[in-house]
Amino acid sequence: MSEYLLEVSNLKMHFPVYGGIFRRQTGKVHAVDGVSLKIKAGETVGLVGESGCGKTTVGRAVLRLYNLSGGEVFFDGDNISRMTQGDLRLLRRNMQMIFQDPFESLDARQTIGEIIEEPFIIHKIGTAETRRDEIEKLLSRVGLSGSAITRFPHEFSGGQRQRIGIARAIALKPKLVVCDEPVSALDVSIQSQILNLLLDLQSEMNLTYLFIAHDLSVVKHISDNIAVMYLGKIVEYTDADSIYKNPLHPYTQALISAIPVPDPSVRNKKTVLSGDVPSPLNPPSGCRFHTRCPVAFDRCKADEPELLPAPGIEGEEHLVACHLVNS
Ligand code: SF4
């Protein structure tokens, strides 16, 4: 049995694009192009990158909400890459998702009780009475009162709605939770409360998280390891401490330099990246970051760098895809 709960190998997600009067396929969006990562049970991997880099697509693909274009996903020892939706149904109770927008992810017409009861009904668990007990315990566990059961989502604040989303995600005691930017729609003052709740639940329930964020400062305290994504690929992967203390890829360095420093006497040297992320419909040749990289050189336009162990670093796994680092 593998020591990893989740193993993703060379995952690819390409989406066809149709155009013209005959609606023929005119191209493919290379949303994810060869992503590999592993997460041990009870640990968290943070997946970070600007919007459009493919990180949410990775999260949805590992839950098999899509049919994969390529690569493999192993969950708890099972290869789920080509499983039918019928077979996946049995596994779904162990794999849940917390969504980015707590305003859109809850059905406005259902009461909170009905929303949290849904997974129990889908998986035919318990009776109406035992389910009500479970719902009350879940609400209390996420910091809400039992009276929420009969109320509707619009009666709650953003932070409270995210607590409801978390209660629904943990209702069936899953092993893996994909957290898709769960705090980015919330006020900064609420973000740390939700992050602390996720950390508490993880240690109580031995949850494993794939935590998706566009901001490196958000994943710092919650992640054991961090993968930085750019345009469908992982460009750097290591433990959370190393990524902040010793970022090696120019893109990671730029993301870290953009994190505000709370001490006004400390002046952070910011690396401002020029231009936007190129289109995944037609990614740049060679290193996909070369069009924005401040230290790009000739080889970068022609050769695609592999994600390799960084030279000179021993005793830890620090992978980087950059010719400058690996030459
Ligand atoms: Fe920059 Fe070249 Fe390294 Fe890509 S391979 S990050 S373009 S130096």
Mean pLDDT of 230-244: 95
Q: Is the pLDDT of residue 299 over 80?
A: yes
Q: Which of 7-11, 194-198, 257-261 has the lowest mean pLDDT?
A: 257-261
> What tens digit of pLDDT does each residue of 143-182 get?
999 999 999 999 999 999 999 999 999 999 999 999 999 9
Does residue 293's CB lie within 6 angstroms of at least one atom of ligand 1? yes
Per the prediction, the chain carries an average pLDDT of 92
Q: How far is the CA of 108 from the centre of ligand 1 (A)?
A: 47
What's this model's pTM, rounded to 2 decimal places? 0.93
Q: How far is the CA of 297 from the centre of ligand 1 (A)?
A: 7
Does residue 234's CB lie within 6 angstroms of at least one atom of ligand 1? no
% of the chain at pLDDT higher than 70: 96
Q: Is the pLDDT of residue 270 over 80?
A: no
Q: Is-contact 293 250, C-beta < 8 A?
A: yes
Q: How far apart are CA 320 and CA 194, in angstroms?
A: 31
Tokens coding 307: 């994600």
- Residue closest via CA to ligand 1's atom 8 equals 296
Tokens coding 144: 């809400």
Atom of ligand 1 nearest to the CA of 288: 4
Give, for ligand 1, the residue of 253, 288, 295, 327 to mutate: max count of ligand atoms closer than 8 Å to Cβ.
295
Q: Is-contact 183 218, C-beta < 8 A?
A: yes
Longest dimension (CA), the chain: 68
- Residue closest via CA to ligand 1's atom 7 equals 290
Q: How far apart are CA 217 and CA 191, in angstroms?
A: 11
Tokens coding 239: 């433990």
Q: How far is the CA of 327 from the centre of ligand 1 (A)?
A: 11
